[in-house]
Chain A
Amino acid sequence: MSLPALKLHPEFAPTPAKPVTPAAILPMPRKSVSAGRVAQTLREAAANLLPPLITLIAVLLIWQLAAGDAAGGLPSPSRIWMESHDLILNPFFDHGGTDKGLFWHTLTSLRRVAVGFGLAAVVGIALGMLVGSSKLAHRSLDPIFQVLRTIPPLAWLPISLAALHEANPSALFVIFITAIWPIVINTAVGVRNIPQDYRNVGRVLRLSPIEHLFTILLPAATPYIFTGLRIGVGMSWLAIIASEMLLGGVGVGFFIWDQYNASRISDIVVALVWVGLVGFALDRFIALVGHIVSRGTAAN
């Protein structure tokens, strides 16, 4: 259709292409495609990594300038490095007693989280299933849950110490009671939101209650369950650090309190960064498990 127009306006006619042998052309796109792909990946990585890196450097610079080098008060980044680089570079030392590297403290804290959070996950999912599928259970349990879930983690500590007498079970209980509510509530919402169509499919197939649980209920609620688990694991990490400060012994929370009593503020800053990184890793870990278990349907 455009050919006559080109004839009328010879100035717009395309200049005849230079004769190029196909052999000269073929290898070209292949090379440029693979090189382009590498460059593309690099560019994407840079686009993702550069902004937070620049922000970090800017924050450190401002901090350095604002803190100065006066004795006492908040130490500057350079002073933290001077005073605490042992702690940063070697998290694995163990001089006996509570004088251990951050790795060992973290391990203790993580072990507590694993037990407390694991229990909360099992009990929470079961309770959530019950509350989500039975109207009676919802009516009788939900108001109580709504009140209990607003109690701050540390408020549970004195009563659990009084009831359980020992530090370790008390810490586990605090984690458990903190992490369970988001798991229960999200699981219940997930079960309640299962489309009627999926239930009808189950009814037409005459699935038994057990089959219904494993083929319809659990898979359909999985994305919701993992939302609850992610919130729960974050909250249990908050709870353990706080309760260890009061309980003493080993653990990252205790380490922070211990350094405060020894006026080693630099070590506290290092421990805080460490706590943040571990919390971040926990969250990503649960998200990853959710992604695998739900076969890609859970949000990342």
Chain B
Amino acid sequence: MSKSYLSIENLCVSFRSGSKVSEVLRGVDLQIDRGEFVSIIGHSGCGKSTMLNVVAGLLPVSTGAVILDGEAVERPGPERAVVFQNHSLLPWLTAYENVRLGVDKVFRATKSRAERHEWTLHNLALVQMTHAKDKKPHEISGGMKQRVGLARALAMEPKVLLLDEPFGALDALTRANLQDSVMEIHAQLKNTVLMITHDVDEAVLLSDRIVMMTNGPAASVGEIAHVDLARPRNRIAVDATPAYIQARHAVIEFLYARHAAVRAAA
């Protein structure tokens, strides 16, 4: 079981508030290989963000385990860098300083000052943000902030890159731009990526596999769809291919026919 790079094994997460215990995730199993791009999709409240936070180490595991590269995840760390939904850049630092903060922390012992400077600039260039390196977060657009957030995460050279609905707050055109950038970077660096999304097209376009979550409480993995599209993918070229349509249909069928958000029962 635990042969794969990132392994989530029989994961259960519950929160206690007072005497009430609410079970968010029950028995989640998921194996992710090195270099794989996996999306998690589900209705809101299905615990997909909880799952990402547990993998990040920001939330504790109740029972079960998250194992990355042979080591159990117990606390947050730069080898599981997160790109947060609302960018979470520190507003008193420039784009460069935000990225540099992570670089300094991770590579203090292994890289010289000049090398860390180069590495920071390299990662800003990777997300095409060199021109705004000396700007504060409030001086740049939402899409640019997410790019800097992505650079900060990439610069830590994480074993797995965690994306928490990274493009959810952006308009459709900016989102498409960023998705293309993420695909390019993934092709170049071959990172292992775990992404939370609620956008079916985004999931199909970017992922190798799409994990569909059942509705909460006590959600678990419902189905996993494979997206058999060759990389590099072009959003216009793949749009009408049978593989794309098939994967898209599988996800939509799961989300809206079999696991539609239950209102009366919930």
Which A residues contact B (CB, under 8 angstroms)? Answer: 195, 197-198, 200-201, 203-207, 211, 215-216, 219-220, 222, 294-295, 297
Segment from B8-16, B73-81, B174-182 that makes contact with A = B73-81
User: A49 to nearest B CB, angstroms?
Assistant: 31
CB pair A297 B92 closer than 8 Å? yes
Task: Number of B interface residues at 8 Å Cβ cutoff, please give it.
Answer: 22
Known: A204-B82, A222-B92. 20 other contacts (CB 8 A): A195-B88, A198-B90, A200-B58, A203-B76, A204-B76, A204-B78, A204-B80, A204-B81, A205-B78, A205-B101, A205-B102, A207-B105, A211-B105, A215-B90, A220-B90, A220-B92, A294-B92, A295-B136, A297-B91, A297-B92
Residue B193 at the chain A interface, CB threshold 8 Å: no
CB pair B76 A206 closer than 8 Å? yes
Q: Which 7 A-B pairs have the closest CB atoms?
A: A197-B88, A203-B76, A219-B92, A204-B76, A205-B105, A201-B88, A295-B92
Residue B86 at the chain A interface, CB threshold 8 Å: yes
Which B residues contact A (CB, under 8 angstroms)? Answer: 56-58, 75-78, 80-82, 84, 86, 88, 90-92, 101-102, 105-106, 136, 156
Interfacial chain A residues near B102, Cβ < 8 Å? 205
CB pair A206 B84 closer than 8 Å? no
Instruction: Give the interface SS of chain A, mostly helix, strand, loop or mixed.
Output: helix
User: A69 to nearest B CB, angstroms?
Assistant: 59
CB pair A200 B90 closer than 8 Å? no
**Partner pick for B90 among A204, A211, A216, A294, CB 8 A cutoff:** A216
Interfacial chain B residues near A222, Cβ < 8 Å? 92
Interfacial chain B residues near A206, Cβ < 8 Å? 75-78, 105
**Partner pick for B86 among A197, A203, A211, CB 8 A cutoff:** A197
User: B36 to nearest A CB, angstroms?
Assistant: 21
CB pair A200 B84 closer than 8 Å? yes
A220 to B91, CA, bound (A): 8
CB pair B78 A197 closer than 8 Å? no
**Which A-chain residue is minimally distant from B93 (CB atoms)?**
A219
**Partner pick for A219 among B57, B84, B88, B90, CB 8 A cutoff:** B90
A295 to B138, CA, bound (A): 13
Which residue among B86, B91, B102 has the maximum number of chain A CB atoms within 10 Å of its CB? Answer: B91
Which residue among A205, A211, A215 has the maximum number of chain B CB atoms within 10 Å of its CB? Answer: A205
**Which A-chain residue is minimally distant from B91 (CB atoms)?**
A297
Interfacial chain B residues near A195, Cβ < 8 Å? 88
A197 to B75, CA, bound (A): 16
CB pair B88 A198 closer than 8 Å? yes
Interfacial chain B residues near A201, Cβ < 8 Å? 84, 88, 90
A295 to B106, CA, bound (A): 26
Interfacial chain B residues near A204, Cβ < 8 Å? 56, 58, 76-78, 80-82
**Which B-chain residue is minimally distant from A297 (CB atoms)?**
B92
User: B162 to nearest A CB, angstroms?
Assistant: 9
